[in-house]
Structure 1
Amino acid sequence: MVTRAQEMNRKSSLAPELSIIVPCYNEAKNIPHILRRFMPVLKSVRVELILVNNGSADDTAAVLKRELSKRQYGFARTVLVPVNIGYGHGILTGLRAAKGKVLAYTHADLQTPPEDVFKAYHMYQDRQMTKHLVKGARKGRKPIDAVFTWCYGALASVVFLSWLHEINAQPKVFPRELLALLDDAPKDFSLDLYLLAKAKRAHYAITEFPVDFGARLHGASKWAFSPKAKLKGVARFFGGIFRARWMC
């Protein structure tokens, strides 16, 4: 009788259909939960889960080594970024190491459920389009966060002369071919904006679907951990619109 762990390991030995990138910066406490949450929803899809150690200063490396040695997690592997350069750089490092025909990324804080990555993947497959990107649109957010997101999207839409909505929402799922357009992508939080802008310029269809957006399981936001940090983060986000526009 083939056990679930053996079946997972068999699938992991084949070329993956889907590569999921999860950038981890000081996420030691979340990593065991990430692996446990992803395992039940893999189903019949051949998946590789790439946990990017994005220059973490906590016990992320040790936790990854311990957890990934377990047979039931044969679908997962890690990629190391020795020194943290930025959120975008971590994601790009994972994407470039990926082997799947379809690529995806989502956050390590589990605010967006892993199930939504697979929902997005099946939506992508159902459309049977070469140029297609599927992304989440967050619901259940605090009013102040929703207002900030709307203003950010509105300004970006004006600057890029194209409607851009829920720019930083996860997950994002797209074909491997889109990665070729990201050679000069920003290495910070502007990556999401740059990705969507590049996709639109290349005439990709963009499909959104609602995703629940809960509280972080462990740790604090990497940019909004205090009022002062949040103000600085907002300034960086809005400044990033113009940097991304210049880079496009």
Structure 2
Amino acid sequence: MTEFLTTPQGRRIAHDRLHGSGPGVVFLGGFRSDKEGTKALALQAWAERTGRAFLRFDYSGHGQSSGEFLDGAIGDWFEDALAAIIALTTGPQVLVGSSMGGWISLLLARTIPDRIVGLVGIAAAPDFTEDSMWAGFSEIQRRALIEAGQVALPSEYSDEPYIITRRLIEEGRGRLVLRSPLNCGFPVRLLQGTADADVPPAVALRLLDHLTGPDIRLTLVKGADHRFSTPDCLALIEAALTEILGKGAA
């Protein structure tokens, strides 16, 4: 059943949670995704089967939460996630971050390391506003972003283009995680499709190289795309979670 949390910033965050055994599992969705996506619902079904505490939620400007998407930025969505974990979970948590959710998971791990005991990144996209969007813009697009405050990019998932705002790019520069050391003292499992057109395998390899920690692994799935939502891919996500929880986190 969907409930709402008001964050310290005054945003209303829609969420669904299951009470169960710990450590809990928190799903963090991607850019323009919501808590009703295939992976989020599959993980909830897994949590129901295993009796595991579980949380899924919508960032502000996404899904059923308050706010307009175009007003948001990485820092806002990180604050939403942090507020949700602090208010709606107890004890240690394993984060499952999809695409942008992988970036936000890393920000959370850096901010509240005492609460995080594992991380599963699914096509994790750290620093994408800088390294993918801004770096990929033409001079015309950069000028439009600066002068008009936004630029439209085509989307393969919708007839509507992505509108990228100047605030998204500029605010994201204060949230980058690949420019300074990032130690993970807990198991990390990165899952990546080789046919991902949005987050290419090179991003996963860069993240693998950048992270430090005792137990970090990357699994490449030949032919899997950015959605990573086929039955086989969903089974890999569940297996990664089960492995992490079996390493003393349970």
* TM-score, normalised with respect to structure 1: 0.34
Please state which structure has a larger fraction of its residues in helix.
Answer: 1
Q: TM-score, normalised by structure 2?
A: 0.34
Considering Cα pairs closer than 8 Å and 6+ residues apart, tell me whether 1 or 2 has the greater RCO. Answer: 1
- Between Structure 1 and Structure 2, which shows a larger proportion of strand residues? 2
